[in-house]
Amino acid sequence: MKRGEGEHDLVPQKAVRAIQDLIRRNVYEPGMKLPAQRILAEELDVSRASLREALSMLEALGFVRTEAGRGTFVTHNGGNETKAVDEWRYSNLFEVNEVYEFRYFTEAAAIRMAALEITDAELNELQHIHEKYKAAIQTLDLVASGEYDNAFHRSIMNYSRNRVYSHLYEKFHEVIHQSQILPFSRHQRLWEPVMEHGKILEALMRRDPDGAAYYMQMHMVRAAERIGVQLKHLF
């Protein structure tokens, strides 16, 4: 059966989930070399291209590392912040710090507007996303964590009621999403963004635009710092 276009887009994520689950269940233990891509692609019933994209995502998340001429290995630790930046997949277009600088200003401006316009129903939806995010982090499901992280920030942009902000966020969605998952490579620091999201949500619940903007900008600074990027000159 031929996959539809939408389904095809989900294939790499399904492969990421499958490999991540095998690592979490110690089928592939730290230090172990993964099977050759041809074999692994057959086992997961995905194309080689989808598998390569999945392995790239897993490397960004800190689950595996690829060594030239040797293969792909399960990592021993929580990832390497320098390696995460080195593996930035959009380096031919933008530096990582440029993306965080863009987000630092635009998301702070958007959340100021959202704090004044947000409804109780929208706050409940953000709370629901936040709880799902916490649960995903607790189970080390970093694929789901990335999805809920993205949903949290995307929702705030939409709640600003400014269609330019929403349009820009959608236009650069893939780049922004990649910047969101890079800090997940620091597995020992996974709970930090959960707490930061919590502070942002609390400020929104108070309808506090200054507080919401402050916590959003601090979240950007700290997310960048988790992968070794300094944004101190912005404030």
Q: How many helices (H) and strands (E) does the chain have?
A: 11, 2
**Token couple for 155:** 């929702």
Domains of the chain: which residue ranges?
5-76, 90-234
Record: fold of 5-76: Arc Repressor Mutant, subunit A (1.10.10)
Q: What is the pLDDT of residue 3?
A: 40
| Element (DSSP H or E) covering residue 157 | helix 142-159
Kindly calculate the radius of gyration of the chain based on its CA atoms and give it in whole angstroms.
18
Q: What is the pLDDT of residue 22?
A: 86
Distances from the Cα of 86 to the Cα of 70, 137, 143, 183, 227, angstroms: 19, 24, 20, 13, 10
**pLDDT, tens digit only, all 235 positions of the chain:** 334 434 445 677 788 888 888 887 888 888 899 999 999 999 999 898 888 888 888 887 778 888 888 889 988 555 555 555 666 778 888 999 999 999 999 999 999 999 999 999 999 999 999 999 999 999 888 888 988 999 999 999 999 999 999 999 999 998 998 899 888 878 889 999 999 999 999 999 999 999 999 999 999 999 999 988 888 666 5
Q: What is the pLDDT of residue 56?
A: 82
**Token couple for 202:** 């609390």
Class of domain 90-234: mainly alpha
Q: What is the pLDDT of residue 106?
A: 96
Q: What is the pLDDT of residue 232?
A: 62
